[in-house]
Structure 1
């Protein structure tokens, strides 16, 4: 039987965007479009500031994202990038608004020495365009909303928790919601007028503000403990709890939930990781090849060692999320400080903030 030849498949045509980008080399097409209008992009996700509200030590921004935005789920975070003094910096922030809002609301607290937080607090104006990442993070409401919800936050950790609250209320959630927030004083509580107004309007919402400083506050004082939990949410054993705040608060809540066998009902978000202790047995030498600098390996993170050697590598979150500090390791072996994974392959991009050297390491930095 004669074999019939299969008709050849037509060659796949490049997309119009790919064709235009090939003509636009050495830069991507968006690099040229931003010269005309930075909000007209083909691939890049950006956002324009449409409203600015300044408070004491913080600024609240409303952002209008470009068409590539796919929304967020309450509790997630985004990465925001700005150029300060010619250098692009990226930081992680949690939207504070409902996930059903058209815009993105971010509240940025100014930190001493904070490049991005200081810039946004001082310089943000309507019309400012920032880089934006898709929303990310496992800290979020499940698709099937819990019947009973307990929200616990402290300081600037209020923003992802507030997004959860706003989302639930926007959806008409009828089950009990308790919001337990810790701050030093009433003046340190972001969104205080709105929180009290929400509690007045929604009978199923219990709001408890606990001030750890002197004076003010409700019936509760001091720091988190069993009495606070039982007073605000006596039904907590059957609820889902969402937690974000300073390390001490997070630790106290986790210890209590672990002790009560409720760890599976506690969901938490944090934007810091405990600094890894330097390896006392570290050996070898670090070579920052592009800078012509060498230094003995102290066992600390490569980002910390680069800074100690007088270099100024780009960085963002300092905890392995934003990838701003990614640098090529040209040779040597490194250990991931979060996972313990060892990487001995040459010419590999690594994140300086969560990598430590194992022996001699050379970086293209």
Structure 2
């Protein structure tokens, strides 16, 4: 049962309750969970199984949705065990489609990906944020394009290929999609249909774990690139997939026009070190001091102690977790650089404590 928004223990919470938009949201929510004047809420109108561990969620957002470009991603917020958790997912639909679609592959240790796949069903409501991302088509597209995808890194590329299909230009487009097995191909039937009806598109699946007759096996190599993209030097390349695949791709494509978006599995962005003892972290807004080891990101070590700051991508991209460091030093896990001791904004998902800290949480 919902409570009225004027029952509060803190004075600042009471003052917040006087905001007209908060009242409007409360009463609109009583009429329909999708109604809001402050949040993009989307009703799940269909759930499609793409592979045994991947589902697509078709969404009907409210009037606050402003659209997107093919290749962009959106923050998705759900409530799990009483706390709000946000993750970013690429949109796999086309911008002109009637409804939105996100496609989510279950990841080992993935809190939100597993929750969505296990629990979300038709009729549920998801909260979305504003879209972002620069993994989009260039304005002046060349004739030759190559897309390299690995695993669920196919999702933004699938949206981009739909955009190219609608542009219907005179182009040569190649997709090399690296997956574990034939059964792991996301959007398999759609790709088969697309290739039959698009002379401009060539799709090649490469299986890393379970070979299949008539298909390539293994990982990205110079030989595979030379075989399927003979005019590579004049080709613009888009890469999206796990970090090892991207590292290999960027080394093979050095000197070429490459646009990439990194797809990280949980924990891949974290450099863990072994330290002796602990450091104190004073949370100035909460008036609380906790001890952390300084071995992993601040976000992870805070969550271990039951403190759940707002976060999103968990890899230093979305800036959802930015907060002010008022004193102390941290190491930026994405660059390896150690900060100064004074005030600055930090991203706690990619910051590791190096000394006693005071942060604005």
Partner of 2:258: 266
Shift of residue 294, structure 1, vs aligned partner: 3.3
The 8 Å contact of residues 313 and 325 in structure 1, kept in 2 or not, is answered as no
Partner of 1:275: 270
- Highest Rg: 1 or 2? 1
Q: 1:188 aligns with which of 163, 184, 207?
A: 184
Partner of 1:301: 297
Q: 2:154 aligns with which of 144, 149, 158?
A: 158
**Structure-2 change in CA distance of 1:343 and 1:218 (3 Å):** farther
Cα separation, 2, equivalents of 1:177 and 1:125: 36
Cα separation, 1, equivalents of 2:55 and 2:219: 27
Give the RMSD, CA atoms, in angstroms: 2.9
- Provide Cα deviations, 1:216-243, integer angstroms capped at 9, x if missing partner: 1534221111111111111221111111
- Provide Cα deviations, 1:275-326, integer angstroms capped at 9, x if missing partner: 2454979995334574855326535321233345x33424442113455545
Matched, 1:82 2:49: no
**Structure-2 change in CA distance of 1:141 and 1:92 (3 Å):** same
**Residue correspondence of structure 1 range 11-160 to structure 2 within 5 A:** 23-24=18-19, 27=22, 29-55=24-50, 56-160=52-156
**Structure-2 change in CA distance of 1:199 and 1:25 (3 Å):** closer
**Structure-2 change in CA distance of 1:33 and 1:342 (3 Å):** farther
Cα separation, 2, equivalents of 1:96 and 1:145: 21
Q: 2:200 aligns with which of 193, 204, 209?
A: 204
Structure 1: gaps spanning 5 or more residues: 1-20
Report the 3-state secondary structure (helix = DSSP H, G, I; strand = E; otherwise coil) of the residue aligned with 1:89.
strand
Report the 3-state secondary structure (helix = DSSP H, G, I; strand = E; otherwise coil) of the residue aligned with 1:359.
coil
**Structure-2 change in CA distance of 1:279 and 1:141 (3 Å):** farther
Shift of residue 119, structure 1, vs aligned partner: 2.1
**Structure-2 change in CA distance of 1:336 and 1:180 (3 Å):** same
Cα separation, 1, equivalents of 2:80 and 2:322: 19
**Structure-2 change in CA distance of 1:253 and 1:323 (3 Å):** closer
Give the TM-score taking structure 2 as reference length: 0.83
Structure 1 segments (4+ residues) deviating >6 Å: 279-283
Matched, 1:246 2:242: yes
Cα separation, 1, equivalents of 2:30 and 2:281: 40
**Structure-2 change in CA distance of 1:326 and 1:209 (3 Å):** same
Give the TM-score taking structure 1 as reference length: 0.82
Structure 2: gaps spanning 5 or more residues: 1-15
